[in-house]
Amino acid sequence: MQKIYAAITAVHGYVPDYVLTNHELETMVDTNDEWITSRTGIKERRILKGEGLATSDMAVPAVKGLLEKRGIGAEEIDLIIFCTSTPDMVFPATANILADKVGAKNAWGYDLQAACSGFVFGLTTGAQFIESGKHKKVLVVGGDKMSSIVNYEDRTTCIIFGDGCAAVLLEPNEEGFGLVDSVLKSDGSGRPFLNLKAGGSLRPASYETIDNKEHFAYQEGQAVFKFAVTNMADVAAEVMERNNLTAEDIAWLVPHQANKRIIDATANRCGVSSDKVMINIHRYGNTTNGTIPLCLWEWESKLKKGDNLILAAFGGGFTWGAAYLKWAY
User: DSSP class of residue 144?
Assistant: E
Task: Name which of 114, 110, 113, 84 is nearest 97 in CA terms.
Answer: 110
Whether 295 is a known active-site residue: answer no
Q: Does 31 bind ligand UT7 (CB under 6 A)?
A: yes
Q: Does 18 bind ligand UT7 (CB under 6 A)?
A: no
Choose the binding region for ligand UT7 from 175-183, 196-204, 216-224, 239-247 (rule: CB under 6 A): 216-224
Choose the binding region for ligand UT7 from 145-153, 247-255, 258-266, 268-276 (rule: CB under 6 A): 258-266
Task: Name which of 228, 231, 253 is nearest 240 in CA terms.
Answer: 253
Catalytic one of 96, 173, 231, 286? 286
Exposure of 189 by Cβ count < 10 A (0-12 exposed, 13-18 middle, 19+ buried)? exposed
Distance of CA 205 to the CA centre of its chain: 27
Q: Does 315 bind ligand UT7 (CB under 6 A)?
A: yes
Q: Does 262 bind ligand UT7 (CB under 6 A)?
A: yes
Q: Does 112 bind ligand UT7 (CB under 6 A)?
A: no
Helix (H, G, I), strand (E, B) or coil at 85: coil
Q: Does 327 bind ligand UT7 (CB under 6 A)?
A: no
Partners of residue 184 on adjacent β-strands: 321
Rg (CA), the chain: 19
Nearest approach, Cβ of residue 190 and ligand UT7 (Å): 10
CB nearer ligand UT7, residue 106 or residue 230: 230
Nearest approach, Cβ of residue 78 and ligand UT7 (Å): 30
Whether 165 is a known active-site residue: answer no
Helix (H, G, I), strand (E, B) or coil at 145: strand
Among 136, 221, 230, 234, binds ligand UT7 (CB under 6 A): 221
Choose the binding region for ligand UT7 from 61-69, 95-103, 243-251, 254-262 (rule: CB under 6 A): 254-262
For residues 292 and 311, give the distance between their C-alpha atoms in angstroms, rounded to a whole number.
7
24 phi, psi to nearest 5 deg: -65, -40
The residue sitting closest to ligand UT7, measured at its beta carbon, is 221
Q: State the pairing for strand pair 252-255/308-315.
A: parallel
C-alpha to C-alpha distances, 170 to 6, 87, 253, 288, nearest whole angstrom: 6, 22, 20, 21
Whether 286 is a known active-site residue: answer yes
**Active site members:** 116, 256, 286
> Where along the sequence are the contacts to ligand UT7 (CB under 6 A)?
31, 35-36, 39-40, 116, 155-156, 159, 221-222, 224-225, 228, 258-259, 262, 286, 314-315
